[in-house]
């Protein structure tokens, strides 16, 4: 912390301790809570912290972030409900465009890390999307989800997350950074939770999409 303090002094910057917290990431049952001080002031220790709209939990299972997304998107679902009235309502294309403009971007904002989230957590996003599809199409609960997605030309949230994760992975390994370019997948003793690279690598192998990357050449 002394290095940070010296750097701030040299660059005339101040750390806002009211917006600063200490968070440790570990899969241990009891979270690590080291005491760290900045200029003789103890930093607040937290298990969850929101940064640029992303909620980080100490185990990186993304449940808190998914719950936050569902809560925010649920409040926007009232827009679709008002547009899709039972006695009157807008055209299906209007409701669908409203969903794509006001709800879908929030569901897929920085969704690449969610590739490592559990299926139970991602199911909450699918449930919310399915509700939107029923409002758009006017379908009953027994209507197959794939039919509604096909009719509205949408894709499932899990498919979008997998696609964006693969794009991010391919960008990282082509930037020339030795860490990403030479990253090796090792055998994991812990099978309950996989990381971002492991999940993407498994998808590439299952779909037989893996190939030798070519480095991006700067103009």
Q: Is the per-residue pLDDT at 213 higher than 60?
A: no
Average pLDDT value for residue range 106-126: 87
Q: Which residues pair with 44 in a beta bridge?
A: 21
Determine contact, residues 62/116, Cβ cutoff 8 Å. Answer: yes
Tell me: pLDDT of 132 over 80: yes
* Distance from C-alpha of 205 to C-alpha of 218, rounded to nearest angstrom: 29
192 has pLDDT over 80: no
Record the pTM: 0.76
Could you read off the pLDDT of 39-93 as tens digits, one per residue?
A: 888 888 888 888 888 888 888 888 899 999 999 888 888 888 888 876 676 888 8
3-state secondary structure of 54: strand
């Amino acid at each position: 912390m002394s290095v940070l303090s010296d750097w701030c002094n040299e660059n005339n910057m101040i750390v806002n301790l009211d917006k600063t917290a200490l968070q440790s990431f570990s899969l241990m049952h009891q979270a690590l809570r080291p005491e760290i001080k900045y200029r003789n002031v103890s930093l607040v220790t937290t298990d969850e912290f929101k940064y640029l709209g992303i909620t980080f939990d100490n185990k990186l299972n993304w449940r808190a972030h998914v719950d936050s997304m569902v809560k925010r998107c649920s409040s926007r679902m009232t827009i679709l409900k008002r547009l899709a009235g039972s006695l009157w309502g807008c055209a299906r294309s209007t409701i669908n465009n409203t969903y794509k403009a006001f709800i879908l971007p929030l569901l897929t904002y920085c969704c690449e890390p969610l590739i490592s989230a559990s299926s139970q957590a991602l199911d909450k996003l699918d449930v919310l999307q399915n509700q939107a599809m029923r409002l758009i199409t006017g379908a009953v609960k027994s209507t197959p989800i794939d039919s509604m997605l096909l009719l509205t030309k949408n894709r499932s949230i899990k498919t979008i997350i997998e696609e964006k994760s693969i794009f991010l992975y391919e960008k990282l390994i082509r930037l020339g950074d030795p860490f990403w370019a030479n990253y090796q997948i090792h055998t994991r003793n812990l099978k309950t939770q996989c990381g971002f690279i492991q999940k993407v690598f498994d998808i590439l192998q299952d779909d037989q999409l893996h190939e030798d990357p070519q480095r991006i050449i700067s103009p």
